[in-house]
Amino acid sequence: MHPIPIVRCSSLLQHKASTINQIKQVHAQLITNASNSPSLFGKLIEKYCALPPPHATKYAQLVLTHLNSPDVYPLNVLIRCSLPRQSILVFANWVSKASLVFDDFTYIFALGACARCVDLSALWEGKQIHTRILKHGFCWNVMVQTTAVHFYASSNEVLSARKVFEEMHERSSATWNAMIKGYCSQGEKIKERACEALMLFRNMLVDVCGVKPTDTTMSCVLSAASQLGVLETGTCVHGYMEKTIHLPESDVYIGTGLVDMYSKCGSLDSASYIFKKMEEKNVLTWTAMAMGLAVHGEGTQALDLLDDMKACGIKPNEVTFTSLLSACRHAGLVDEGLCLFYSMERYGVTPLVRHYGCIVDLLGRAGHLIEAYEFISGMRVERDAVLWRSLLNACRVHGNVVMGEKVAEVLLHIQPHENCVRIHDASEDYVALSNVYASAERWEDVEMVRGAMKVKGVETKPGCSSVHSLVSNHS
């Protein structure tokens, strides 16, 4: 086999249709020619990482061992292109090698991998990487610190993200976006975090560094306004965009954000106006409009959107069907909801648990309790306790004690995946059964359930309420 020139190797690596055998042939020629080009080995790693596992992991890591002298560029490519968990392992493996000095991109890619990783250990590993960043003096790099903000925010450590943000001497638009988006992504204290995001946006507008909001910034701010649900706030954000962005509805993402914001703030007319005004719409736009119609009880109009989507060549996804089924649920359209559910696979969408949940709630609200029970029993996906609780609540509303007892028996025998008793979930089930008996004025049975809870040590969770207030700054 004649050696392939280095230039030819580079050309082959740039070819998009390279197979595993072609990539391995180029790899062998680079070793034969004793090439030590970091850029070529970087391209080789990219090609390997584009392959499905296990080739991506197996061969990409071998590339670094064939370099005569280690170089940080191929390592950075490997960390950037690998799957998140593998990227973290690669970084950890090279930490102990004193012959290689990391640069800012190494830390950016490694910390970014921790942000994308879903397992619990990624938070601890990311904190260790951040500690090395501080130790080795990379904390002055704007991109590195912005990645740290993104990492902590993605890991639900929003206070740590804000601490890094406040300590930065220089911030880019990406830094502000990462922090604002971090507030909007929090699962707890949604309204409180939304207020923080909007206050941070206000600070961005008056910041002495003069960093201007981008389209991404405005999408995040619209998300915060949607979560807050205050129409006046959302209107102010829209007004700012009208002054600073020429025709904000012309951007499909900002337009979609406006539709979502106005829908959630209670102004369906404004949402419909923006929706009709948009020249370009994607599946997210149609889904936002469908959900807006759903929460406002306009089930028939929401279903009409499916035909309009088909006419525009837009294929609905799982979230779209969730919105449409929710519309049927709110409007009590039983036949239409069932027809829609059974048509999902024709659109290439496999029903998920949340879609089954919409149908159970739809049947339960309409009083079709037997049909709902049979529907759950015939599910092709794993049944969870939430579905049964929905049906049990419907039994209480409609005063069907017999069905309520039957559903409660199923619920109380469901074992959690952790093989341990979750007291809070158990208390919900006992209380729900007690309420079914109470609605039928069977007080002896109510006392029996309460007694069983006491014997088994099941305690109800104390109720609480919160009051949300907006504080105006008049300074």
Cα-based angle 352, 184, 233 (whole degrees, multiple of 5) = 115
Alpha-carbon gap, residue 384 to 375, rounded angstroms: 13
Residue type, 28: A
Q: What residue spans define the domains of the chain?
A: 352-459
**Residue 266 Rama label (left phi>0; alpha psi -120 to 50; beta):** left
Q: Do the beta carbons of residue 75 and residue 93 sit within 8 Å?
A: no
Alpha-carbon gap, residue 99 to 68, rounded angstroms: 12
Say whether pLDDT at 409 is over 80. Answer: no
Task: Give 462's DSSP letter.
Answer: P
Q: Which of 269, 304, 277, 272 is nearest to 288 (CA)?
A: 272
Stronger pLDDT, 316 or 34, i.e. the higher one: 316
Q: Cα-flanking dihedrals φ and ψ of residue 349, to 5°? A: -115, 120
**Lowest mean pLDDT, pick from 34-48, 121-135, 376-390:** 34-48
Which pLDDT score, from 0 to 100, does residue 427 have? 63
Residue type, 376: I
Q: Structure tokens of 175?
A: 């830094």
Stronger pLDDT, 448 or 262, i.e. the higher one: 262
Which pLDDT score, from 0 to 100, does residue 1 have? 45
Q: Spell out the long-range contacts of 371-375 with Cβ–Cβ below 8 A and sequence spacing 24 or more.
A: 373/403, 373/406, 373/407
Which pLDDT score, from 0 to 100, does residue 465 have? 53
Q: Structure tokens of 6?
A: 């280095």
Tell me the range of 10-24, 93-107, 212-226 where mean pLDDT is highest: 212-226
Residue type, 457: G
Stronger pLDDT, 142 or 437, i.e. the higher one: 142
Q: Do the beta carbons of residue 45 and residue 74 sit within 8 Å?
A: yes
Alpha-carbon gap, residue 54 to 195, rounded angstroms: 45
Q: Which of 1, 55, 74 is nearest to 32 (CA)?
A: 1
Residue type, 269: D
Taking the CA atoms of 419, 420, 422 and 423 in sequence, report the sign of the dihedral they define: positive
Burial of 324 (0-12, 13-18, 19+ CB in 10 A): buried
Average pLDDT over the chain, rounded to whole? 83
Alpha-carbon gap, residue 464 to 279, rounded angstroms: 46
Q: Structure tokens of 31?
A: 């070793």
Say whether pLDDT at 44 is over 80. Answer: yes
3-state secondary structure 92-112: HHHHCCCCCCCCHHHHHHHHH
Report the b/e string of 450-475 with b at 16+ CB within 10 A: beebeeeebeeeeeeeeeeeeeeeee
Question: Can you say how many angstroms the Cα of residue 50 is from the centroid of all Cα atoms in its chain?
Answer: 24
Say whether pLDDT at 392 is over 90. Answer: no
**pLDDT by residue (tens digit) across 215-229?**
899 999 999 999 999
Confidence of residue 336 (pLDDT cuts 50, 70, 90): very high
Cα separations (Å) of 369 from 20, 254, 354, 404?
56, 42, 18, 9
Please tell me the total number of residues recorded for the chain in this structure. 475
Overall pTM surpassing 0.75 (yes/no): yes
Q: Structure tokens of 427?
A: 């208390």
**pLDDT by residue (tens digit) across 268-292?**
999 999 999 998 999 999 999 999 9
